[in-house]
């Protein structure tokens, strides 16, 4: 007993100390980095920079600063004109944001919740621009100190759901709505989309990213950028590059081959740059082969700009990188959110010649180009009233299109006359999106329960009552954490279990059961295997017992997966009658699920990643931080300048070996001939499609394909045509097949056919040669395989390339 009391006292004491230290640490950190605006203005000694001029637009869009205007001249001339008028100090001032506080501030004029700015130069009529997260919608604060109205934003579906639509036109529409919303709230750049590759299922931020495949990532990302930027709002595509784990994300050194870098991790960004030329790219926190990305000239200048032709600016991730002058010299033009320490370091470096004025000018030119393109230069009077109703409809429609039907033995769609028993906590506490900076402050999230009621379903009252009792007796755990604590402790209320008797009563009083399995994660932490990738014992028992109780009465069970990342499905997928992968569908999630369950919409989503049988089947599993947990806050708060001795470095924390090289996702599962639970590209429909009449020709270094898609079933629906290439006679080590293109049909009526035409530049079939540091197109025979999943490619054609 004594021991227990001692232990408790010790734990409480230790916890207290930790809190004090963390609080102190955060305080110290904030003091050294987040300057108040007044301090900021004083510190940089640009006296014109007064409170009013930083935020020269008030909340109603009334301008107080006369923006520099000379639109008779081309953009580049205007940039030069401004540059010529700027003092060196003013230029350096532009290289860093004006601190997090200036954007976050709840004062009269700033936009609360925006996380950064591009600093203004009022003397020359250069306004400040506001930066705000992304990528599932705009992230600003819903409340403002002295206003009695709210500023909610639309929670669109998470990135992973968006890529599951395989519909780039729809992605463009989502982007347009997001861009318009940003514009109307006075935000100039959205910090998104996220284009990192799903290297391992446990990365806590996978939900913000698109896919394990770079082509799907790149085309989805480019459509998003084009949509957002069509509204005169910029994007900052993140996190460039190889930021595939949250554990030690700020310091982790990715040890990787050039080939894996080029073919897998850079490829998606390359496509985005070439197809959409975004305003900005956000460099990632991590190092690559020993060097911080933010300080890598190789990545930020040689590859990004010289090879790919990127014209925009590169900004750091928040407080990312190490040496300010090295960052600017490497081509990382803007340090966000900007700190006093960085200001001092830049001034010093420019004085001692470490940072030349030529380098400064290069970055300032890029920053000015972005500012001059922004709507702030037009004095755009933003309304603070985006059309949230219209955007909610787009959110609902897109969420429906990205949900993936994994299994259906004829149970779905269901009739509205049925009495539905909702089981599991998440059916009532639906999850709209992940946590951290990828979260959105939306006005509401429609739960599955509400979605069913909205559609006129009758809900079983007993299962609802049991949930309410469960919630009442676990009150505290049902309080949603806010702010930093939401990042550190993702909301995860305790699971519910049912007694045999309760289940029997539920079965007797209902027609069908729906179990929802929920998962959530976010920035700063990776997921774990136990009770996260794997179902918990409670969840497994629930599925087991609910299915046998309902099946004994000849009634069906549907499982809805309300998750942001991949979970294990192989051990239990046989049990329920249908499985719908609903992902996290944003604020209209529950309505979208019911649109599919009721048959109002025919599912057409396809998996953008593989669902493996075992976590260990992933090649990257050998080198991933499997113990999960959070990023090391102490190390983030008190970074040590001294490099750890090699021997002290901890694998998967200080460094991560990407030993699997290019064998990520299906590239690995196919090569190793592993059975998977659900394959990349897989997804069912309520109708059947046939693909036929594949034609293939080679003209002007382009492959031209034609394929006929016919709806053979009895309801209308959309199908995704997927094109893979193989090189059986290859002289190098290559994946068995790789996605080369895809196209989604419009909705086809029963018996309707459409001829899909696809063009693929031959260069896309190249591999990265480490010997020559070049893309090489091997000569010889290639096979083109067309189908509707990576493991279901039933049409093939081949062709020959005569010369390398």
Question: Which residues are part of the catalytic machinery?
Answer: 317
Distance in Å, CB of 133 to ligand BGC, minimum = 5
Assign residue 661 a region (left: φ > 0; alpha: ψ between -120 and 50; beta: otherwise): left
119's tokens: 């600093």
Choose between 166 and 209: whose C-beta lies nearer to ligand BGC. Answer: 209
* CA 93 distance to own-chain centroid: 31
Structure tokens at 291: 């060097």
The pair of three-digit structure tokens given for residue 772, joined into one six-digit string? 């020559």
- Work out how close the CB of 178 gets to ligand BGC at its nearest, in angstroms, rounded to a whole number: 14
Query: Rule CB under 6 A: which residues touch ligand BGC?
Result: 115, 133, 191, 238, 317-318, 437, 523
CA distance 191 to 224: 12
Nearer to ligand BGC, 83 or 486 (CB): 486
Strands 419-423, 458-459: parallel, antiparallel or unpaired by DSSP? parallel
* CB of 516 vs ligand BGC, minimal distance in Å: 28
Q: Are 572 and 557 in contact (CB under 8 A)?
A: no
Q: Give min distance, CB of 103 to ligand BGC, in A.
A: 10
Spatial separation of the C-alpha atoms in residues 707 and 703, rounded to whole Å: 13
Round to whole Å and give the CA distance between 584 and 597. Answer: 16
Closer by beta carbon to ligand BGC, 188 or else 511: 188
- Minimum separation from the CB atom of position 588 to ligand BGC (A): 24
What are the distances in angstroms from CA 546 to CA 447, 517, 577, 579, 723? 21, 13, 12, 14, 40
Q: What is the DSSP string of 442-457?
A: -S----HHHHHHHTTP
Q: State in angstroms the smallest separation of the CB of 437 from ligand BGC.
A: 4
Nearer to ligand BGC, 139 or 555 (CB): 139
Tokens of 222: 């480019």
Closer to ligand BGC by Cβ: residue 522 or 585: 522
CB of 211 to ligand BGC, least distance (A): 18
Q: Which residues contact 108 (CB under 8 A, 6 or more apart)?
A: 55, 58, 59, 146
In sequence order, the β-bridge partners of residue 131 are 116, 189
Burial of 257 (0-12, 13-18, 19+ CB in 10 A): middle
C-alpha span between 576 and 544 (Å, rounded): 9
Q: Is 709 helix (H, G, I), strand (E, B) or coil?
A: strand
Per the DSSP assignment, residues forming a β-bridge with 558 are: 514, 578
208: tokens are 């913000």
> Which C-beta is closer to ligand BGC: that of 133 or that of 577?
133
On whether the CB atoms of residues 120 and 60 are closer than 8 A, the answer is: no
CB closer to ligand BGC, 317 vs 577 = 317
Please state whether the peptide bond connecting residue 787 to the residue before it is cis, i.e. omega within 30 degrees of 0: no
Pick the closer one to ligand BGC by CB: 224 or 691: 224
Judged by beta carbon, residue 111 or residue 748, the one nearer ligand BGC is 111
Closest approach of ligand BGC to the CB of residue 205, in Å: 8
CB atoms within 10 A of CB 116: 29
Q: How far is the CB of 191 from ligand BGC (least distance, A)?
A: 4
Q: How far is the CB of 208 from ligand BGC (least distance, A)?
A: 8
Nearest Cα neighbor of 651 from 253, 286, 249, 198 is 253
Does residue 395 contact residue 587 with C-beta atoms inside 8 Å?
A: yes
Nearest residue to 132 via CA among 141, 145, 123 = 141
* Structure-block tokens of residue 300: 């930020």
Encoding tokens for residue 322? 């190490």
- Residues 560 and 593: beta-carbon distance below 8 Å: yes
Contact 567, 434 (CB under 8 A): no
Q: How far is the CB of 134 from ligand BGC (least distance, A)?
A: 7
- At residue 20, the 3 state secondary structure works out as helix
When the beta carbons of 133 and 429 are compared against ligand BGC, the nearer one is 133
C-beta of residue 235 within 8 angstroms of C-beta of residue 374: no
Extended strands (E) in 48-156: 116-118, 129-133
Burial class (CB in 10 A: 0-12, 13-18, 19+), 606: buried
Nearer Cβ to ligand BGC, position 139 or 653?
A: 139
Cα separation, 447 vs 226, whole angstroms: 31
CA distance 395 to 680: 24
Query: Residue 580's beta-bridge partner residues?
Result: 405, 560
Contact by Cβ (8 Å): 117, 43: no
738-744 and 720-726 beta bridge pairing: antiparallel
Q: CB-wise, 217 or 679, nearer to ligand BGC?
A: 217
Kindly give the pairing relationship between strand 129-133 and strand 189-191. parallel
Which is nearer to ligand BGC, 208 or 253 (by Cβ)? 208
Spatial separation of the C-alpha atoms in residues 201 and 605, rounded to whole Å = 19
Q: Considering the complex, what minimum distance in angstroms separates the CB of residue 439 from ligand BGC?
A: 10
Cβ 195 to ligand BGC shortest distance, Å:
12
Of the candidates 248, 235, 255, which has an alpha carbon nearest to the alpha carbon of residue 203?
248
HSE of 217 in the Cβ direction (CA atoms, 13 Å)? 30
């Amino acid at each position: 007993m004594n021991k227990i009391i001692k232990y408790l006292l010790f734990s409480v004491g230790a916890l207290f100390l930790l809190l004090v230290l963390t609080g102190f640490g955060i305080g110290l950190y904030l003091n050294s980095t987040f300057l108040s605006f007044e301090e900021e203005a004083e510190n940089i000694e640009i006296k014109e920079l007064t409170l009013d001029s930083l935020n020269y637009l008030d909340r109603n869009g009334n301008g107080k600063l006369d923006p520099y205007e000379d639109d008779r001249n081309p953009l580049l001339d205007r940039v030069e004109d401004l540059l010529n008028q700027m003092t060196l100090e003013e230029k350096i001032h532009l290289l860093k944001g004006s601190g997090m506080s200036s954007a976050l501030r709840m004062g009269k004029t700033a936009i609360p919740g925006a996380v950064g700015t591009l600093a203004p130069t009022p003397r020359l009529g250069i306004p400040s621009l506001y930066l705000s997260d992304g990528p599932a919608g705009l992230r600003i604060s819903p409340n403002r100190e002295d206003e009695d109205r709210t500023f909610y934003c639309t929670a669109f579906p998470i990135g992973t759901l968006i890529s599951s639509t395989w519909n780039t036109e729809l992605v463009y529409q989502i982007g347009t709505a997001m861009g318009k919303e940003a514009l109307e709230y006075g935000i100039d750049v959205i910090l998104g989309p996220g284009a990192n590759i799903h290297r391992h299922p446990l990365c806590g931020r996978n939900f913000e990213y698109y896919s394990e495949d770079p082509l799907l990532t790149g085309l989805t990302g480019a459509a998003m950028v084009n949509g957002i930027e069509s509204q005169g709002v910029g994007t900052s595509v993140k996190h460039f590059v190889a930021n595939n784990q949250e554990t030690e994300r700020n310091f982790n050194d990715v040890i990787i081959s050039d080939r894996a870098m080029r073919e897998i991790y850079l490829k998606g960004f390359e496509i985005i740059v070439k197809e959409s030329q975004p305003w900005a790219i956000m460099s990632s926190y991590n190092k690559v082969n020993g060097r911080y990305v933010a300080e890598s000239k190789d990545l930020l200048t040689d590859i990004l700009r010289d090879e790919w032709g990127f014209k925009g600016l590169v900004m750091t991730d928040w407080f990312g990188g190490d040496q300010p002058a090295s960052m600017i010299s490497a081509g990382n033009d803007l340090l966000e959110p900007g700190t006093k320490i960085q200001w001092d370091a830049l001034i010093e470096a420019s004085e001692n010649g470490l940072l030349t004025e030529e380098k400064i000018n290069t970055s300032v030119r890029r920053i000015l180009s972005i500012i001059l393109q922004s709507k702030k230069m037009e004095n755009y009077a933003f309304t603070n009233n985006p059309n949230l109703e219209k955007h909610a409809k787009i959110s609902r429609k897109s969420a429906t299109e990205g949900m993936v039907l994994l299994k259906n033995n004829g149970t779905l769609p269901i009739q509205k006359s049925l009495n539905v028993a909702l089981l599991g906590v998440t059916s009532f506490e639906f999850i709209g999106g992940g946590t951290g900076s990828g979260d959105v402050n939306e006005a509401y999230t429609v739960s599955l329960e509400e979605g069913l009621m909205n559609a006129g379903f009758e809900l079983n009252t007993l299962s609802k009552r049991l949930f309410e009792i469960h919630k009442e007796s676990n009150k505290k755990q049902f309080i949603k954490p806010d702010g930093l604590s939401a990042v550190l402790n993702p909301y995860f209320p305790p699971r519910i279990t049912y007694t045999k008797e309760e289940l029997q009563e539920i079965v007797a009083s209902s027609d069908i059961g729906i179990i929802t399995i929920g998962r959530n994660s976010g920035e700063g932490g990776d997921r774990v295997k136990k009770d996260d990738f794997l179902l918990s014992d409670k969840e497994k028992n629930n599925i087991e017992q609910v299915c046998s109780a309902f099946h004994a009465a000849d009634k069906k069970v549907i499982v809805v997966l309300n998750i942001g990342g991949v979970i294990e499905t192989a051990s239990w997928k046989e049990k329920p009658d249908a499985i719908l992968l609903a992902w996290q569908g944003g604020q209209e999630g529950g309505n979208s699920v019911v649109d599919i369950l009721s048959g109002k919409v025919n599912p057409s989503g396809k998996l953008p990643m593989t669902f493996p049988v075992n976590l260990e089947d992933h090649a990257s599993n050998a080198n991933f931080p499997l113990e999960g947990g959070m990023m090391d806050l102490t190390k983030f708060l008190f970074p040590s300048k001294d490099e750890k001795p090699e021997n002290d470095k901890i694998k998967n924390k200080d460094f991560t070996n990407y030993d699997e090289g290019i064998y990520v996702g299906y590239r690995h599962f196919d090569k190793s001939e592993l059975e998977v639970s659900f394959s990349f590209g897989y997804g069912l429909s309520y109708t059947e499609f046939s693909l036929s009449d594949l034609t293939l020709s080679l003209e002007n270094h382009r492959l031209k394909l034609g394929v006929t898609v016919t709806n053979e079933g009895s309801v209308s629906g959309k199908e995704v045509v997927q094109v893979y290439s193989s090189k059986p006679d290859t002289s190098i080590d290559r994946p068995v097949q790789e996605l080369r293109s895809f196209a989604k049909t419009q909705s086809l009526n029963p018996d309707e056919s459409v001829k899909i035409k696809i063009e693929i530049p031959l260069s896309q079939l190249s591999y990265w040669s480490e010997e020559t540091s070049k893309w090489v197109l091997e000569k010889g025979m290639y096979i083109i395989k067309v189908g509707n999943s990576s493991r279901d490619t039933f049409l093939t054609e081949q062709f020959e390339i005569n010369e390398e």
